Structure 1
Amino acid sequence: MKKISVIIVIAALCTGYASAQVLNDDFDIEQQLLASTKQLNQFFKRFNGEETNRGDELEPTDRRYRNTRLRKRYINVLFDEEYAQISKALKNKFIETATNSQTAQFLSLRSKDWFAVVNTVFEYEGREQPLTLYMKIQKEGLGYEWVISDISFNAYDQLFDKQRGETKEFLHPMSHELDFMNLRKALVQNGSPESYTLADYKPDYLTLFLYEVKKGLLKFKTVENLKYHFFSVDGWYFSLNNYNRPGFNSGWLISDLTEINNSQKDQLLKFIYGKD
């Protein structure tokens, strides 16, 4: 009888331990989900000190709202700690710039100083091909909207490969004496009509993209990847990636950070837009 009682006690203890373990695991998972910056809006609020890293939204009347000391803590955990090669010194300098009590800087969803790069897949000429959309937010009526500001498409780059230098095709300077009948050479026989345009001619890929979408020649399939680029903090550039992984360091996090001047900003924008 005593042996049976001991077994019952041990079983009860084991059951209690297992239940406690499950509760602890559930608690850890809950804490991770709260800490994760799951939505982009959360990143903005935590960067600005308008939401705690536990997901509690702060009212402007709350003494913690946009508190400098708390903002430093919140921003510090908004960096990717697994892949990003960002030095501690650079990170601290950025945080000090953003939270300086005299010139504190905040992020706004309505700002013009950030944009999205959306990597998509379209069906074109019978096969699926990658196409990049550059998205910006703009004021519209009483609200705001996301719009396509530009695109990058390898098929268009190959299509408009304008010749340069001595090999460039051209219309003879006396073509007017021929009533420009040699346009046949440029527009019918030759495969590079862009060679006969102004020296500073640049094709409008966005208009061509919209035309081919309307004609059904380009068919949207899916979004494969998404990245946000920010120039919202004076003298700095940073980008966001979404890291879907277990743990506290997940969600929308800063993946790149660079201190830049105006000249470097222009060069970086050209690089991001593929215009360099």
Structure 2
Amino acid sequence: MKRIACLIIMAVSISIHAQSFFGGQDLHDILFRQSVKSCEEFMNRFNEEEYFPDLDKTDSLIGQKNFVFLFDSQLAKGKDRDVFLKDVFQFYDSVRTNKVKLSYESKKWYAELRANFFYKKDTVELGLVFQTEHTPKNLPCWMIVGVNGLEKIGYTDSISRLTISPEQHEAEFIEIESDFKYSAKEFSKFRSYKANLDALSYFFALIESGTLTFDQRISTNFHFFDVPSYFFSVRYYPRKSTNTGWLIYDYRPIKSDEKNAILSKLLSK
């Protein structure tokens, strides 16, 4: 185990400094081949339909080694190598035991675009969450299914409510005039105790009214719930080393209730 640990960790964390080490091959070409260049390539390597270049195809441990190359090497920093690899290999075993194959069509993965928006005179960072769907003509596409971070600009779906006096129907609801004037910033609290305030509807209303306007994209993360007992996320790392491209930056074993909690937080539901 220790021998495997040393070999794999060294392979993951090594930075390429000299062309001569690769028999005169062009450094740019080597890094390009080793990089996980797209989300599709990440899926292919995860599914073992492709492998990290230069791995020995006859090696009985090629699957495990290939899997380790899909992780951001910084995850191993400050950790015992054997412990880190044991965790990764348990993850790998769960993937293989459950025969998990990542795919574009899966309904268990989400893309999250972190972006800045202007709200009044402030800049606020929100997360727009997308999921794959098909149009009525059966064409694949991405659609917005959630948004997170709206609590920064006043959104809340708490149990707190504001009420209207029970006799107001006799006064033709004249009280509502002062409610609009003095409680405008928390007017959603006048909704029924049985009515939920949907974050996505709230977001669309702010956008279409011009109250919230787009500024710029920040980053994109992919979140996967395909492995029954795990949650993991992927983002892009532009490095001049073997450990570059779309890599796993967060992973954890979780139970079904924990997975639901993570998903609810991601979608603000």
- d(CA) in 2 for partners of 1:99 and 1:22? 34
Deviations 1:110-151 (A, max 9, x none): 101000111112233245432220111112233311111112
Q: CA deviation at 1:222?
A: 1.9
Q: Report the RMSD for the aligned CA atoms in angstroms.
A: 3.3
Match of 1:188 in 2: 181
Match of 1:119 in 2: 114
Of the three residues 242, 247, 251, the one matched with 1:248 is 242
Q: CA deviation at 1:238?
A: 0.8
- 2:92 equivalent to 1:95: yes
Structure whose alpha-carbon radius of gyration is higher: 1
Structure 1: unaligned runs, 5 residues or longer: 1-19, 57-63
- d(CA) in 1 for partners of 2:71 and 2:105? 22
- 2:218 equivalent to 1:228: no
Q: CA deviation at 1:158?
A: 1.4
Match of 1:9 in 2: none
- 2:21 equivalent to 1:34: no
Say whether the 8 Å CA contact 1:75–1:95 is kept in structure 2: yes
Match of 2:103 in 1: 108
Q: CA deviation at 1:39?
A: 0.9
* Fraction of identical pairs, as percent: 22
Question: Are the structure 2 counterparts of residues 28 and 74 from structure 1 closer, same or farther at C-alpha, using a change threshold of 3 Å?
Answer: same
* Count of residues in Structure 1 that have an aligned counterpart in Structure 2: 243
- d(CA) in 2 for partners of 1:105 and 1:227? 20
Correspondences of 1:161-200 after superposition (within 5 Å) = 164=160, 169-191=162-184, 192-200=186-194
Bigger shift: 178-187 or 111-120? 178-187
Question: Are the structure 2 counterparts of residues 189 and 268 from structure 1 closer, same or farther at C-alpha, using a change threshold of 3 Å?
Answer: closer
Question: Are the structure 2 counterparts of residues 176 and 199 from structure 1 closer, same or farther at C-alpha, using a change threshold of 3 Å?
Answer: same
Say whether the 8 Å CA contact 2:145–2:267 is kept in structure 1: no
Deviations 1:178-224 (A, max 9, x none): 33332223233433322322124433332343344345444333211
Structure 2: unaligned runs, 5 residues or longer: 1-18, 78-82
Greater relative contact order (CA < 8 Å, ≥ 6 in sequence): 2
Match of 1:75 in 2: 67
Bigger shift: 240-249 or 193-202? 193-202
- TM-score, structure 1 as length reference: 0.74
Q: CA deviation at 1:25?
A: 6.5
Q: CA deviation at 1:240?
A: 0.6
Question: Are the structure 2 counterparts of residues 209 and 93 from structure 1 closer, same or farther at C-alpha, using a change threshold of 3 Å?
Answer: same
Q: Secondary structure at the match of 1:88?
A: helix
Q: Secondary structure at the match of 1:82?
A: helix
- d(CA) in 2 for partners of 1:179 and 1:126? 38
**Aligned residue identity for 1:119:** R
Q: CA deviation at 1:244?
A: 1.0
Say whether the 8 Å CA contact 1:84–1:256 is kept in structure 2: no
Say whether the 8 Å CA contact 1:156–1:205 is kept in structure 2: no
- d(CA) in 1 for partners of 2:23 and 2:93? 36
- d(CA) in 1 for partners of 2:116 and 2:221? 15
